[in-house]
A and B are shown apart, each in its own frame.
Chain A
Amino acid sequence: DAKTTQPPSMDCAEGRAANLPCNHSTISGNEYVYWYRQIHSQGPQYIIHGLKNNETNEMASLIITEDRKSSTLILPHATLRDTAVYYCIVRVGRSSTNAGKSTFGDGTTLTVKP
């Protein structure tokens, strides 16, 4: 799986948008970009994923650059409960026998402040 690079930490004011960047310059054509977050002492929680197009769901938006070498996770209105470690992962999709195998980097610790 491709390696990802994320800033180690970010702060965000409550109610403001949180924009978390991720670089994945060695991503392959069949690899998806996934975002998860982990709140202390819990399992990672799925947020969103995409291949080429931008995606939006009830939790967040995912913006993927045209060359797919980087992406940004956007939490539109951050709350204190969004404080967590956010992981950006690239991995092959369901068509591969290794579908689901994920290599976690160090992630970004997002702290939402009142």
Chain B
Amino acid sequence: GAVVSQHPSWVICKSGTSVKIECRSLDFQATTMFWYRQFPKQSLMLMATSNEGSKATYEQGVEKDKFLINHASLTLSTLTVTSAHPEDSSFYICSASGAVREKLFFGSGTQLSVL
């Protein structure tokens, strides 16, 4: 089946630094990718939707300047957490769907810890 690869699996960074998370669709063209975050013992919360070649659409309450999303190709989307702070520590998950697929596949997630 289709595979979505997310990298890195975990990252520890100092407060004030920026962190980039990559999400790749390995065997299909992902016209749309989604970014979620998940706090411990909570459900996934959709942050933004990105379509290849266009600006991402952010959910209410998500700072677009804080969480930069780029979807430059049909197989790659990136999420950059800019000037990360401890409250940004969370589990970030991407998902991808293609134009001809009904299924939505998820990456393995990235655990971000900001010190």
Contacts and interface: CB of A to CB of B under 8 A. Distances in A.
Nearest to B91: A41
A41 B107 CA distance: 11
B34 A104 contact: no
B106 A45 contact: yes
A100 B46 CA distance: 11
A103 interface: yes
A38 B34 CA distance: 17
Given A41-B109, A43-B6, A43-B109, A106 B102 contact: no
A85 to B, nearest CB: 8
A104 B1 CA distance: 23
Interface in A10-26: none
B44 A99 contact: no
Contacts of A101: 32, 34, 46, 49
Interface in B39-53: 43-46, 49
A105 interface: yes
Contacts of A41: 91, 109, 111
Interface residues of A, number: 24
**Contact-residue bracket for chain B:** 20 to 34
B43 A106 contact: yes
A42 B9 CA distance: 9
Contacts of A43: 4, 6, 93, 95, 106-109
B57 to A, nearest CB: 9
B89 to A, nearest CB: 14
B104 interface: yes
A94 B108 contact: no
Contacts of B99: 94
B46 A102 contact: yes
A100 B32 contact: yes
B107 A100 contact: no
B104 A34 contact: yes
A43 B11 CA distance: 16
B103 A46 contact: yes
13 contacts: A41-B91, A41-B109, A42-B108, A42-B109, A44-B93, A44-B95, A46-B105, A46-B106, A49-B103, A100-B97, A102-B46, A103-B46, A104-B36
